[in-house]
């Protein structure tokens, strides 16, 4: 059999892994990922002795293809020499690939039939593995299986019911059942898997049409600034006034109800900013009747630390205007993990303000015009569970980001796809104001209704509706109940297999 030959097995497996990014933004070919994963399962069944190494190298290749832009941030922007940047770029996929490899290692420990192992246990284990990796070592959920289905796939309909991990579960189940159509020799079993696939996707499509939340009767026009300031110039003192003028002009160019400027749009501590410059932003917004929220770092209350914040400058300048400060910080970009061991590495990189303080997990939405806006900053919208508390109190969500760190790569579009998932999970509009892209307006169905081209200076204007109510995922409060359910099912099958062995 040709599939079992090493000369065919490995190149074809790696080829499918290289093409994994096609399933994610900006391509959105969601149907590819279940096929690629089904291929991996079939290959595992053909050569079970290679199952762990093939899973690891498949995942290593897939994550490297998907996250290649880490090198852009480390080398092109932070200035790390390539002999350090490239190994560090590969280190992340090398770590992430451990989780799929662990899934197939654990599959081999269950004493059950192949059908049960693949059709039931594989989706449960894969989902649990991704749940763990979103939390382990500060967490990294980028590239999770479920994101490939957002927001065009019928499987995206499961997002408001159980969050991104339920989408991951049904995507993994789709792959497993496709594999069983090939692997299971019994005609009745093939028919059963085919019916199950149709049912799974039909239910998803129906859920996608259902409205779990409702408009609250309010509407607002929004203007989202995209300054397109190069990262290498952003913190240059000589560029400060030019940056301030660019964003001031954007505020002055619109009469929208709500104006939002990107993460660290103003690259100076709020308390250190000239009162005259700060008042210019306030007065310009007031003159146009706009509520203004600006990304600007600020000192902590005790003055000993600093925060990555978005500040509500709607009213006249206050000593302490309402703000939201980022709580889930980026390792190396915003804080230094294990500084005694890794501090030398930071010294080699040009990263300003890499020691932010956390803002806290119980921050209230900001009142902008007639909307209660639940803010999250950049990396934070990759963690759905952490947005639930604010979303419950909010009529809309907003993300401010600075993706200039990643150049013209697909990191911007992949990040947009995560925001689409958050809109679906919470049943609310999500607006995004970014420095270089992707600045966009996303409706509660996760659809991008308006967006700017990346890498241009512009303002995106549009209209949103305020929403109220809770999705089932929000009522659940987090993904923990689903993770525990997966673990319970796995435990039952583990005990069942062990009991059968003892009985025989």
For the annotated catalytic residues, the residue numbers are: 263, 326, 378
CA distances from 22 to 18, 30, 149, 389, 408 (A): 9, 8, 12, 33, 17
CA distances from 103 to 113, 121, 144 (A): 17, 9, 14
Beta strands 430-434; 396-401: pairing state = parallel
Cis peptide leading into 438, omega within 30 of 0?
A: yes
Separation between Cα atoms, residue 205 and residue 183, nearest integer Å? 27
Scan for tokens 């690629």, then name that residue.
36
Q: Which two tokens stand for residue 143?
A: 């590239």
DSSP state of 331: B
Beta strands 371-377; 396-401: pairing state = parallel
Phi and psi torsions of 186, nearest 5°: -85, 130
CA distances from 430 to 161, 181, 262, 308, 424 (A): 18, 39, 14, 20, 9
User: Given CA atoms 41, 42, 47, 53 in this order, what sign does their dihedral have?
Assistant: negative
What residues pair up with 458 in beta bridges, in sequence order? 226
Q: Which two tokens stand for residue 30?
A: 């969601």
DSSP state of 47: -
Residue 186 buriedness (CB in 10 A; 0-12 / 13-18 / 19+): exposed
DSSP state of 483: H
* DSSP 3-state of 408: coil
* DSSP 3-state of 324: strand
Task: Count CB neighbours of 491 within 10 A.
Answer: 10
Task: Count CB neighbours of 147 within 10 A.
Answer: 27
Are 149 and 195 in contact, with CB atoms under 8 Å apart? no
Q: Which of 399, 373, 384, 390 is nearest to 451 (CA)?
A: 399
* DSSP 3-state of 189: helix
Separation between Cα atoms, residue 80 and residue 348, nearest integer Å? 6
Are 402 and 434 in contact, with CB atoms under 8 Å apart? yes
Residue 218 buriedness (CB in 10 A; 0-12 / 13-18 / 19+): middle
Are 409 and 69 in contact, with CB atoms under 8 Å apart? yes
């Amino acid at each position: 059999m040709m599939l079992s030959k090493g000369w065919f097995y490995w190149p074809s497996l790696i080829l499918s892994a290289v093409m994994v990014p096609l399933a994610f933004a900006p391509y959105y070919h969601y149907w590819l990922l279940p096929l690629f994963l089904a291929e991996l399962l079939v290959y595992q069944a053909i050569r079970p002795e290679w199952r762990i190494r093939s899973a690891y190298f498949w995942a290593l290749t897939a994550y490297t293809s998907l996250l290649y832009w880490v090198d852009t941030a480390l080398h092109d922007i932070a200035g790390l020499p390539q002999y350090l940047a490239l190994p560090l770029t590969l280190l992340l996929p090398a770590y992430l690939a451990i989780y799929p490899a662990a899934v197939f290692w654990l599959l081999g420990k269950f004493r059950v039939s192949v059908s049960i192992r693949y059709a039931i246990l594989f989706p449960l284990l894969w989902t649990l593995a991704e749940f763990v990796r979103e939390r382990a070592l500060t967490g990294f959920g980028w590239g999770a299986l479920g994101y490939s289905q957002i927001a065009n796939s019928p499987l995206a309909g499961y997002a408001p019911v159980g969050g991104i991990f339920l989408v991951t579960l049904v995507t993994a189940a789709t792959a497993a059942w496709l594999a069983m159509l090939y692997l299971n020799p019994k005609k009745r079993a093939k028919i059963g898997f085919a019916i199950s696939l149709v049912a799974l996707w039909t239910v998803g499509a129906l859920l996608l049409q259902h409205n779990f939340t409702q408009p609250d009767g309010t509407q607002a026009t929004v203007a989202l600034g995209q300054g397109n300031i190069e990262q290498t110039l952003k913190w240059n003192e000589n560029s400060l006034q030019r940056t301030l003028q660019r964003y001031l002009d954007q505020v002055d160019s619109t009469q929208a109800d709500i104006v939002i400027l990107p993460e660290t749009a103003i690259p100076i501590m709020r308390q250190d900013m000239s009162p005259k410059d700060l008042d210019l932003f306030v007065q310009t917004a007031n003159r146009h009747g706009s509520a203004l929220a600006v990304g600007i770092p600020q000192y902590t209350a005790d003055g000993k630390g600093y925060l990555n914040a978005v500040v509500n400058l709607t009213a006249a300048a206050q000593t302490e205007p309402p703000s939201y400060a980022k709580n889930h910080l980026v390792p190396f970009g915003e804080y230094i993990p294990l500084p005694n061991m890794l501090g030398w590495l930071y010294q080699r990189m040009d990263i300003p303000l890499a020691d932010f303080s956390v803002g806290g997990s119980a921050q209230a939405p900001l009142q902008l015009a007639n909307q209660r806006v639940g803010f999250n900053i950049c990396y934070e919208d990759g963690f759905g569970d952490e947005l639930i508390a604010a979303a419950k109190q909010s009529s809309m969500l907003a993300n401010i980001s600075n993706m200039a760190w990643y150049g013209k790569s697909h990191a911007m579009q992949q990040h947009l796809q995560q925001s689409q998932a958050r809109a679906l999970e919470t049943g609310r509009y999500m607006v995004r104001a970014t420095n270089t892209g992707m600045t966009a307006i996303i409706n509660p169905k996760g659809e991008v209704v308006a967006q700017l081209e990346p890498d241009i200076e512009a303002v995106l204007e549009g209209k949103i509706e305020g929403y109220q109510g809770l999705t089932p995922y929000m009522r659940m409060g987090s993904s923990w109940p689903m993770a525990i359910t997966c673990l319970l099912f796995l435990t039952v099958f583990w005990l069942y297999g062990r009991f059968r062995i003892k009985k025989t």
